[in-house]
């Protein structure tokens, strides 16, 4: 009987060791999960930080055209180009922004990580992710501001074609961008030309839709086109 008990003791010890190992692994996974949650940034807080500290170099819309960019030895990247951040993990961006990345990284000399809390950097990264449209080189924010400057008076703040200027138009009314039959995908060149040359000249459309080629650049028109698609979302 005693020999049997003595023989079982090593087995029990092995079970205890295995259970302990599993416990340690699970605890490690839990800590990693908690750390990952802490690293999740808030784009709203990130925007506040960007507006306060980053825009002077990176520009209002993240295009790298801020007023201070001209004094930098390395030009800031254009974050509205989706290819810039493609393939870069948040951890990689954190290392670059905090100055812990390669010595040649733009932010390395600034050691921005020494003046910002880690969570603030994660927030900034989350905001940077919102500046580009996947697979494109446009800025919805820029398109929004252009629309709210030039287009809303006829097309309405909500894109419903019910702007204050619409009531004075006879016949053809401004387009309602919320309608299902308004589609840009597959008709990009048609929509572009309508804005660029005016509806009447481009496709015998509304005479009230003026040409914008002298006021807006190609990039600005593309930005507006991207913003128009948000009215259906």
Instruction: Count how many domains the chain has.
Output: 2
Q: pTM of this prediction?
A: 0.78
- Domain of 54, in residue numbers: 43-128
Here the CATH number for the domain that contains residue 112 is 1.10.760.10
Q: To the nearest whole number, what is the mean pLDDT of the chain?
A: 86
Assess if residue 8 is contained within a domain.
no
pLDDT greater than 90 at residue 222: yes
pLDDT of residue 1: 47
Q: Is residue 190 part of a domain?
A: yes
Give 125-135 pLDDT, tens digit per residue. Answer: 999 999 999 99
**Does the residue 75 lie in any domain?**
yes
Query: Strand, helix or coil at 19?
Result: helix
Looking at the chain, the whole-number percentage of residues with pLDDT higher than 90 is 64
Estimate the share of the chain in helix, then strand, then coil, as percent rounded to the nearest 5. Answer: 55, 0, 45
Please tell me the distance from the alpha carbon of residue 191 to that of residue 205, in angstroms, as a whole number: 11
Residues 151 and 224 in one domain: yes
Q: How confident is the model at residue 154 (pLDDT cuts 50, 70, 90)?
A: very high
The counts of H helices and E strands in the chain are 10, 0
Q: Is residue 54 part of a domain?
A: yes
Q: Which pair of structure tokens corresponds to residue 173?
A: 């009314």
If DSSP codes are grouped into helix, strand and coil, which group holds residue 183?
Answer: coil
The reply to whether 133 falls in a domain is no
- Read off the pLDDT of each residue in 112-123 and give the average, rounded to a whole number: 87
Residue 137: which residues within 8 A CB-CB, separation 6 or more? 78, 80, 81, 82, 83, 222
């Amino acid at each position: 009987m005693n020999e049997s008990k003595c023989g079982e003791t090593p087995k029990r010890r092995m079970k205890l060791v295995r259970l302990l190992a599993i416990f340690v692994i699970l605890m490690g996974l839990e800590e990693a999960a908690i750390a990952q949650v802490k690293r999740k940034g808030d784009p709203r807080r990130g925007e506040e930080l960007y507006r306060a500290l980053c825009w002077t170099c990176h520009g209002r819309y993240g295009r790298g055209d801020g007023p201070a960019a001209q004094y930098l030895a390395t030009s800031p990247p254009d974050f509205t180009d989706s290819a810039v951040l493609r393939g870069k993990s948040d951890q990689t961006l954190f290392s670059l922004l905090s100055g812990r990345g390669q010595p040649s990284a733009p932010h390395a000399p600034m050691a921005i990580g020494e003046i910002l809390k880690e969570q603030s950097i994660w927030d900034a990264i989350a905001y940077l992710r919102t500046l580009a449209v996947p697979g494109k080189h446009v800025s919805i924010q820029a398109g929004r501001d252009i629309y709210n400057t030039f287009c809303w008076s006829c097309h309405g703040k909500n894109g419903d074609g019910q702007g204050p200027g619409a009531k004075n138009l006879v016949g053809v009314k401004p387009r309602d961008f919320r309608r299902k039959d308004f589609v840009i995908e597959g008709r990009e060149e048609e929509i572009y030309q309508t804005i660029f040359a005016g509806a009447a000249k481009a496709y015998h459309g509304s005479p009230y839709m003026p040409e914008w080629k002298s006021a807006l650049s190609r990039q600005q028109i593309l930005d507006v086109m991207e913003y128009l698609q948000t009215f259906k979302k």
